[in-house]
Structure 1
Amino acid sequence: MTTTVVPDVTAAADRIRPHVRHTPLLRAEVDGRPLVLKLEHLQRTGSFKLRGALNALLAGERPGQVVTASGGNHGIGVATAAAILGLPATIVVPETVPEGKARRIEAAGARLVRAGTRYAEAAAAAHELAEAPGARYVEAYNDPVVVAGQGTVAAEIVADAPDVDSIAVAVGGGGLAAGVALGSGGRLTVAVEPEGCSCLHQALAAGRPVDARVDSVAASALGATRVGEVPFAVLSGPSVVSRVVGEDEIVAARDRLWDEFRLAVEPAAAVPFAAWLAGQVPGEVPCVLLCGANADWTP
């Protein structure tokens, strides 16, 4: 099986390597089936988002300041990337942002602005702020440079476990899943969403990105109302399949990761594991990508 990754992902890996963790894999057997877990929730910032944010800021001309909108994890990643590079950052979040994520954004040194009750309202406010001279808006997922940065996590998987033949990944706006599809050397990407936040699943059915409702325990991380055009172009390819899981399955999967492995992840990170438990992830040696751990909860 080939382990070649596309050039943009390779270049992204070279750029961000000094600043990110090469997160570990855990091989296990669950219910008599082999499984590889990618522990990306151990990444600096507690999620994969640092990868794309760093690649975006390192790939172009250095801005005077950084602005973005986020439901939480992207904001933490951008705030941390800006701090690493010595840049001021403003992160606009909806008023419904989980307090734990808001706290982590401010702890990274960024200015936190609350605007509206939905991500789209926060994004509109952030774009206005980004019109200031020298400001750079960092997209959460609808940017090929961000997607390439997220793809570096798949490049690590195939380098460390070349026998992996499928990778299950959670989908919000689609940036991580598209990066996995680009960086996995042709392996099957299983793109998994909650039933209540399934913008990719609905877009694939419609043949184009469409608006979708947002109602899930994982909404703070996966609550995009519409999949990005850039990720959709990648995720419409033949090496991607779309799956959805229910709310009870997500919570049960999160709790099982804690009970069985002592892995404390947020609900979004448990979404692909829920699909695997339900038999929705094919492959002789599948990998489940645990994408984040920025939630305050007790098992």
Structure 2
Amino acid sequence: MKNPPHALAPAPGDVHAAADRIRPYARRTPLLDLEIDGRRVLLKLEYLQRGGSFKLRGALNAMLSMSPDDHVVAASGGNHGLAVATAASLLGRAATVYVPTTAPEAKARRIEAAGARLVRHGAAFAEAASAALDVAARPGHRFVHPYDDPAVIVGQGTVAAEIVADEPDVDTVVAAVGGGGLAAGTALAVAGRRVVAAEPEDCRCLHDALAAGKPVDSAVGSVASSATGASRVGEIAFDVLAAHDVTSVLVSDDEILQARDRLWEECRIAVEPAAAIAFAAWLAGRVPGKLPCLIVCGANADWVAR
């Protein structure tokens, strides 16, 4: 799923403009300052965002940048669709969200509950996206890309902008990667600080792209794939990440689930597996820096500990 040909490269100043634009609608989520295993770490509790994930920020910024009369169309494994549905409800706009038949029921029912029209189509995200793009080509309709749109990327970057504003001594920010929108927005927002992009070993589209020097197709298969299951990193997102010398690290599914369970045991934070990826990388010692901040990015699952 390619970005529009007219898309312009996002810039750091665009993140601050997006923050001003979405402020009336998005929550400013808190930082939690912890010591775990004798090490200090900050958690950005973005799972407390409206809609249950950071995705609301990008959806709001994209929708506030288009005509208010456009019927918004999205394709999603779940979180982006819920963000679009939530943003549409907040802004009083119509939205249709396509999801694959494999989308978690917890996410699908929340999309419908937010007021969007939900369409289940195809067994994989690519099939749902193709159907959504066909509908979005109709007059009066507009497609909101889940990660490879400049307005979406800079909207996601407002998460990191809040982090560095609230704790200027942060030297590393860790973001989980699906299609790369959150990590790219983070790189734009952190003003020279280190960015670590964390991915599951079996959903590693950014890692493979960095190795190849360009976006390439990558296998998808992880406990976190409903949220990080892009088979190819976004082209705009990749250009931003490559230009900012972002570090890529991988974590196993076992490490992700152990990190998710430990978030519950240590903090009573209940999140979906994708939101534990950054914490998993930090627990495994793959995150450098004296004061890192980990983005706990979403909680749209019917969660139970193992």
- State the TM-score bracket (shorter-chain normalisation): over 0.9
**Partners in 2 of 1:102 and 1:23 — Cα distance?**
24
Q: Is the contact between residue 187 and residue 239 of structure 1 (CA under 8 Å) also seen in structure 2?
A: no
TM-score calculated relative to the size of structure 1: 0.97
Question: Cα RMSD between the aligned structures?
Answer: 0.9
Match of 2:90 among 84, 87, 93: 84
1:126-145 aligned at under 5 Å gives the runs 126-145=132-151
Relative to structure 1, the CA distance from residue 92 to residue 13 in structure 2 (aligned partners, 3 Å threshold; closer, same or farther) is: same
2:230 corresponds in structure 1 to 224
Dislocated runs of 4+, deviation >4 Å: none
Aligned residue type for 2:202: G
* 2:158 is the alignment partner of 1:166: no
2:44 corresponds in structure 1 to 38
TM-score calculated relative to the size of structure 2: 0.95
Shift of 1:185: 1.3
* 2:61 is the alignment partner of 1:16: no
Shift of 1:147: 0.2
**Partners in 2 of 1:115 and 1:208 — Cα distance?**
29
1:284 corresponds in structure 2 to 290
Q: Is the contact between residue 186 and residue 239 of structure 1 (CA under 8 Å) also seen in structure 2?
A: no
Q: Secondary structure at the residue paired with 1:196?
A: coil
2:153 corresponds in structure 1 to 147
* 2:273 is the alignment partner of 1:273: no
1:156 corresponds in structure 2 to 162
2:194 corresponds in structure 1 to 188
Shift of 1:184: 1.1
Q: Is the contact between residue 174 and residue 295 of structure 2 (CA under 8 Å) also seen in structure 1?
A: yes
**Partners in 1 of 2:304 and 2:248 — Cα distance?**
30
List runs of 5+ in structure 2 lacking aligned partners.
Answer: 1-10
Shift of 1:11: 0.3
1:62-81 aligned at under 5 Å gives the runs 62-81=68-87
Q: Secondary structure at the residue paired with 1:236?
A: helix
Q: Secondary structure at the residue paired with 2:221?
A: coil
**Partners in 2 of 1:84 and 1:237 — Cα distance?**
35
Match of 1:97 among 98, 103, 114: 103
1:293 corresponds in structure 2 to 299
**Partners in 2 of 1:64 and 1:284 — Cα distance?**
46
List runs of 5+ in structure 1 lacking aligned partners.
Answer: none
Deviates further, 52-61 or 168-177: 52-61
Q: Deviations over 1:179-237 (max 9, x none)?
A: 01001111111000000000000000001000011100000000000000010001113
Shift of 1:238: 4.1
Q: Is the contact between residue 53 and residue 299 of structure 2 (CA under 8 Å) also seen in structure 1?
A: yes
Relative to structure 1, the CA distance from residue 238 to residue 16 in structure 2 (aligned partners, 3 Å threshold; closer, same or farther) is: closer
**Partners in 1 of 2:244 and 2:20 — Cα distance?**
28
Q: Deviations over 1:46-65 (max 9, x none)?
A: 00000000000112322431
